[in-house]
Structure 1
Amino acid sequence: MDTLFLMNSLWVMISAVLVILMIGGFILLETGSTRMKNAGHIAGKTILTFGISSIVFWAVGYGLIFGEGNSILGFSDFFYSGYDVEGLGLSGAVFFLFQLAFAGISLTIAFGGFAERAKLSVYLVFALLFSVLVYPFIAHWIWGGGWLAEHGKQDFAGSTVVHLTGAMAALAATILLKPRIGKFNKDGSANNIEGHNQVFTALSVLLLWVGWFGFNAGSTVSVDGAFFGFVALNTNLAAAAGTVAAMLISWIVLGKADVPMMLNGALAGLVAITASCAFVDTWASVIIGLIAGILVFYSIRFFESKKIDDPIFALSVHGTAGVWGTLSTGFFATPELATVGNPGLFYGGGLEQLGVQALGVVASGAFAFIVSFIILSIMKVTMKGLRVTEEEEIIGLDISEHGSYGYPELVNKEAAVKGSIEIPSTGNVPLSSQRPSVN
C-alpha cells in the first residue's frame, strides 16, 4: 500500500468528518433562525433524519449513484461492504463516508422548507423516500457517469447535486405545507417572524464556512499536487465576497446593515462557489461570491412577495445561489482548469458550456421539485396531512411532538412568571407566590 494512497485516504477522511460536522452547523442555523418553542424538535429531528439517510445510503443510495448501470441510474453495489475500488486512489470505505455526508447535507437543506409546521412522522418518511427517489438520480447523472456527465456538466462539489436538489425539495414542501400561522396578513403583507438566537446563526455560519473546506477542497479526493489548497482559497474568497455584498446591499436598500442578510450572503457565496471552485481563477471566485450575495438579498424578498414562507431561506441561499453557481462555470471556467467539460464564455469557449450548465439546472431542478411534490402529495393524503394542528403549532413542536422543551428552564420560568405554572426557586418557594400573576 503506497504512501499516496494512505495520504489520500486520510485527507478525504478528514474532509468527510468536516462535512458531517456541518450537520451541527445546520442545527444551529435552523434553531437560531426559528422560535425557541421548536428548538429541541429541530435539533433532534436533524440528527434522526441524518441517521435514516445514512442507513438508506448504505443499503441502496451508494449503489444507485456509483453502481454499474445506465445513464439514468446505477444498479449494483447495494448494501455496501466497504471494499476498495480499483483505480480510485484511496480507501473505498473512506470515499463512501465522504459521499454519504453529501447525501445527508442535501436532505438537511430540503428540511429547511418544513420548519416549524411539519409532523415528525413526515420528516421520517420523506427522509427515506428522498434518499432513494430524488438525490441518487441527480447525483448519478452528474457524479456517477450519467447522462449529464456525458455532456460535460461541471459541478465540482455540488451546487446542483447537493444544494439545488435540496432547495427544490424544500420548495415543494413550502408550497404544500403553506405558511406558518401569522406569517402573512390578509392583505398579503408579511410579518417578520424572528429567529430566537442570532448568535446561534452567526456561529452556525462560521461552522459551515469551516466545514465547507471539507466539502469543496475534499472533493479533490487527493493530496497529489496540493490542488486542494487552491480550491480552499477560492472557497474562502467567495464566502468573504458574499458576506460583504449582502451586507452592503441590505445597508443601501434598508438603511441598516442587516445581520441575518449578512450571514445569508456568506452562505450564498459558499453555495455558489461549490460548483466552480476547481474550474475558475481566484478573481472569478470573488465575482461569483459578490453576485451571490446580491442575488440572495433580492431572492429572499421575491419569495416573500409570493407568499412563500421559507423560514431559513433555503430557496434563496441554496436554490438561487445554487443556480448561479452552476451557471457561473459557463462564464468563468478556464482552459487550464476545465478538466471536465469546456472553457467558459469569457475564455473563448462560446455558449456550449453555459448551455450544458443551464440544461443541468433545468433538468435537475425540475426533477427534484416534481418528484418531491408527488411524494409529499401522496404523503399528505395517506398520512392525513403533512402539518401539525393549529394548536400544536402554537404551543410549539417541542411539546406537541416530543413532550419536552429544548429550553425547559427558560420556558418554565416564563410560564411561572405569568402565573400559569409553579416551579421551585432558590429557596424552594414557588416563583409564582413571590410576585402577583399578570393574568
Structure 2
Amino acid sequence: MGAILVLLLVVFAPHAVHAQDPTGAKTGTITDIPAAKAGAPTPAELGDAVGHNRIATNIMWTLLAGFLVMFMQAGFALVETGFTQKKNVAHTMGMNFMVYAVGMFGFWICGFAFMFGGGLNAATLGGAPGVIPHEYVVHMFGHDFGIIGTVGYFLNSKVYDVGVFTLFLFQMVFMDTTATIPTGSMAERWSFKSFLIFGFFISMFVYPLFGNWVWGGGWLSQLGANFGLGHGHVDFAGSSVVHMVGGVAALAGAIVIGPRIGKFNADGTPNTIPGHNIPMALLGTFILAFGWFGFNPGSTLAGADFRISIVAVNTMMAGTAGVLSVLIILYMQGKKPDPGMLANGLLAGLVAITAPCAFVNSLGSVIIGAIAGALVVLTIYIMDYKLKIDDPVGAFAVHGVNGAWGVLSLGLFADGSYGDGWNGVKGNVTGLFYGDASQFGAQCIGTLTCFIFVFVVMYVFFKLSNKITPIRVPAADEIAGLDMPEMGVQGYVD
C-alpha cells in the first residue's frame, strides 16, 4: 500500500519544473524555423518559413476536402441503390464502384491535361514552379478563345509537382461526381459494358472540355475580360461544371436507353416503381450532405481563406431550405411527406448553392435552396407525365435543372462582397439584383453552352456506343434482375 502511495505522489504531485508543454504556449517557436543559425533566422529564412507554412496549410486543406468529396461516392451508391429495386442491387452498386476506377484512369490519361493543362499554376497551391502550362486558343473577333489544355498527360514528369498533384486529386473526385450521375438515370437497364465505355468517355473528354472553359482559363471564363460580361461565367464549386454536365448527360442517356419495362402504361400514364430501401437512400443523402463540406468550402483551395465559413453556412442553409420547400409543396398537394422526395429536395438545394455559395448572403442561399426544392418537384412531374422520360432517381431534376438554376442564381443574387479579381476582372462579383446585369448575361451564356454542348455530344455518344455494344440489357434480364446476368452475383441472397 505504501509503495502505491509513493508512486501516486511521484506521478501526480506538482513539480517546480515541467519539461512538457501542456498548454502549447512554448511549442512552435523561432527555434523551430529552419535556419543556418538555430534560433536566429534571417529575414529571407523567416519569409521562406512563412510562405512554406501558408502553402502547406492550403495543400492540407485541399487534400482533406478532396477526401471528403471522394467519400461522396459512397453516398451516391447508397442513394441510387436504395431508390432502385433489390433485384438490381449488385449491378447498381457495381456501377457506382467501378466509375471511381474508370473515371480516375480516364482523367489521369488526358482529362486532367485537357481541363487544366492551360492553367496549372494555381497560386494558392504554390504556383507549380517549373511547370509551363499551355492552352490551345482560337483567335476570333480580336480576342483569344481558350479551348483545351495541352499539358499534363498521364501526370508525366513535366508536371511532377506537389501543387499539381494536389489539384489533380481534388479535381479528379469532382469529375467522378459528374460521371456517377447518369448511373442513376439509366439504372436497372444499362449494360455494364456500355457503362464502362461511358466512364472513360466522359472523364477523358466531355467533363474536361467544359471544365476547361470555366475553370481552366478557357473562353467562358474570359467573357468578362474580353466582352465586359461581369467576371465571365462564374461557378465557384461546380453547379454547371460538375452537376449540370452530369445531369444533362443523364438526360441524354435516359432518352436514348428508354424507360424501364412497366414504367409507363399503354396510355402513357406512369407507374411508380418504388425503391427497395429508403433508409439506405436517406443514409446516402446524409453522407452526400456531409461530403458537400469538402465540395464547396474546399473549392477555395486555401485553408486561410476566411470565406470558408460563409460558404459552409450557405451550403447548409440552401440544402435545408430545399427540404422544407419540398415538404410544404407535398402538404399543399395533399400528399404525405415522401422521404425519397425530401431527400431529392435536400440534394437539389445543395446542387443549386454549389455555384453561388461564396458570393451570396444567407437569405440569398435560403431563397436559392427553396426554389431548387420547387424545381425538383416540378421537373420530376414533367418528366413522368409530360415527357415520358424514366429517371429512377431523379438525376436530371436534381443535378441538371438545379445545376442550371445554381449558376443562374449567382447572376441574380451575388451581393458584391467577394470575388475581387475573379477571372482577371477587378471588383467583386455582383449579380443583377445588386446592380450588375452583365454578370447574369455571362451566366446565361455559360448555362446555354453547357446544355447544348453536353446534350448533343452525349446523345450522339450513346447512339454510337450502342453500335459497339448494346446500351440496354435484354428484356428478359431486365425483368429477372441484372445482378446475375450482368454481375454474376446477387446483391441479396435470400
1:209-239 Cα deviation digits (max 9, x unpaired): 0000000000000012432121111101101
One-letter amino acid of the structure 2 residue matched with residue 359 of structure 1: I
Counterpart-to-counterpart distance in 2, 1:205 and 1:112: 14
Counterpart-to-counterpart distance in 1, 2:183 and 2:157: 29
Q: Which of 80, 88, 100 pairs up with 2:155?
A: 80
Partner of 2:351: 271
Counterpart-to-counterpart distance in 2, 1:78 and 1:380: 28
One-letter amino acid of the structure 2 residue matched with residue 172 of structure 1: A
1:113, distance to aligned residue in structure 2 (A): 2.0
1:257, distance to aligned residue in structure 2 (A): 1.6
Partner of 2:490: 405
Counterpart-to-counterpart distance in 1, 2:105 and 2:477: 30
One-letter amino acid of the structure 2 residue matched with residue 375 of structure 1: F
Counterpart-to-counterpart distance in 2, 1:60 and 1:335: 37
1:370, distance to aligned residue in structure 2 (A): 0.6
2:408 maps to 1:323: no
Counterpart-to-counterpart distance in 2, 1:255 and 1:111: 29
2:434 maps to 1:365: no
Counterpart-to-counterpart distance in 1, 2:371 and 2:460: 33
One-letter amino acid of the structure 1 residue matched with residue 303 of structure 2: V
Contact 1:83 1:92 in 2 (8 A): no
Q: Which moved more, 1:245-254 or 1:120-129?
A: 245-254
Partner of 2:65: 15
Partner of 1:209: 289
Partner of 2:198: 126
User: What 5-or-longer segments of structure 2 have no aligned partner?
Assistant: 1-48, 118-133, 138-145, 224-231
1:222-277 Cα deviation digits (max 9, x unpaired): 01243212111110110111111111111211432221111110000000000000
Q: Which moved more, 1:235-244 or 1:224-233?
A: 224-233
Q: Which moved more, 1:221-230 or 1:153-162?
A: 221-230
Counterpart-to-counterpart distance in 1, 2:330 and 2:181: 24
One-letter amino acid of the structure 2 residue matched with residue 191 of structure 1: N
Counterpart-to-counterpart distance in 2, 1:225 and 1:168: 32
* RMSD of aligned Cα (Å): 1.5
Counterpart-to-counterpart distance in 2, 1:7 and 1:83: 24
1:181-209 Cα deviation digits (max 9, x unpaired): 00000011100000000001111110000
Q: How many pairs align? A: 404
1:279-314 Cα deviation digits (max 9, x unpaired): 111110011001101111111101111110001101
Contact 2:66 2:170 in 1 (8 A): yes
TM-score in terms of structure 1 length? 0.90
One-letter amino acid of the structure 2 residue matched with residue 346 of structure 1: F
One-letter amino acid of the structure 2 residue matched with residue 91 of structure 1: G
Give secondary structure in 2 for the equivalent of 1:193: coil
Partner of 2:124: none
Partner of 1:280: 360
1:101-121 Cα deviation digits (max 9, x unpaired): 011110001222221001110
Counterpart-to-counterpart distance in 1, 2:197 and 2:312: 36
Contact 1:243 1:263 in 2 (8 A): yes
Counterpart-to-counterpart distance in 1, 2:199 and 2:379: 27
Q: Which moved more, 1:19-28 or 1:126-135?
A: 126-135
Partner of 1:58: 108
Contact 1:148 1:360 in 2 (8 A): yes
Partner of 1:303: 383
Counterpart-to-counterpart distance in 2, 1:182 and 1:375: 26
Q: Which of 160, 163, 166 pairs up with 1:91?
A: 163
Counterpart-to-counterpart distance in 2, 1:178 and 1:102: 28
Q: Which one has the largest radius of gyration?
A: 2
Counterpart-to-counterpart distance in 1, 2:168 and 2:341: 35
2:38 maps to 1:38: no
Contact 2:152 2:158 in 1 (8 A): no
1:82, distance to aligned residue in structure 2 (A): 7.6
Q: Which of 16, 28, 49 pairs up with 2:99?
A: 49
1:84, distance to aligned residue in structure 2 (A): 6.8
Counterpart-to-counterpart distance in 2, 1:289 and 1:247: 13
Partner of 1:293: 373
Partner of 1:102: 174
Give secondary structure in 2 for the equivalent of 1:149: coil
Contact 2:109 2:204 in 1 (8 A): no
1:72-131 Cα deviation digits (max 9, x unpaired): 111111111487799xxx732122100000111100012222210011101101111111
Counterpart-to-counterpart distance in 2, 1:314 and 1:242: 16
Contact 1:82 1:93 in 2 (8 A): no
Give secondary structure in 2 for the equivalent of 1:73: strand
Partner of 1:356: 442
Q: Against the structure 1 CA distance between its residues 225 and 169, is the aligned structure 2 distance closer, same or farther, given a 3 Å change threshold?
A: closer
Partner of 2:471: 386
1:178, distance to aligned residue in structure 2 (A): 0.5
Partner of 1:428: none
Partner of 2:229: none
Give secondary structure in 1 for the equivalent of 2:247: helix
One-letter amino acid of the structure 2 residue matched with residue 142 of structure 1: V
Partner of 1:429: none
Give secondary structure in 2 for the equivalent of 1:146: coil
Q: Give the % identical residues.
A: 41
2:235 maps to 1:155: yes
Contact 1:167 1:315 in 2 (8 A): yes
Q: Which moved more, 1:60-69 or 1:220-229?
A: 220-229
Q: Against the structure 1 CA distance between its residues 153 and 248, is the aligned structure 2 distance closer, same or farther, given a 3 Å change threshold?
A: same
